[in-house]
Amino acid sequence: MVWLDNSSGATITASISSAHTPGGATGFFAVEPLLDTFANNHWERSAKFNETAVIHSGKATVKIPHVRGDDFIVIFSDSFIQVRNAPQVYFG
């Protein structure tokens, strides 16, 4: 699962391609700058193949290539951090 954290202070919209993950939703979804939850902040994607994330923040559009299902991406107002192979445990 790709986790996307919105620390930008404003609502962003995000999409992650699913060329290698059948059934994954590819539309743009609003991601609020609120407490992250499993339901609002993850995308089901394969950890074996690269996908592309597209983030709209204000007037800016950023494409993040080489996103895999075990990545954690933090979006700030002017930059992002991509953590590869982030350990993920759902305890809810």
Rounded mean pLDDT, 34-42: 85
Band (pLDDT 50/70/90 cuts) for residue 14 is: very high
Structural domain boundaries of the chain? 2-83
Q: CB of 28 within 8 A of CB of 53?
A: no
- pLDDT tens digits for range 52-85: 999 999 899 999 999 988 899 999 999 999 999 8
- Which residue carries 């391609």 as its tokens? 17
Q: Which residues of 23-39 are buried (b: 16+ CB within 10 A; e: fewer)?
A: ebeeeeeebeeeebeee
- Residue 32: what residue type? E
Task: Tally Cβ neighbours within 10 Å of residue 85.
Answer: 10
Most confident of the ranges 9-13, 16-20, 22-26, 41-45: 9-13
pLDDT, residue 23, reads 62
Instruction: Specify the pLDDT at position 24.
Output: 67
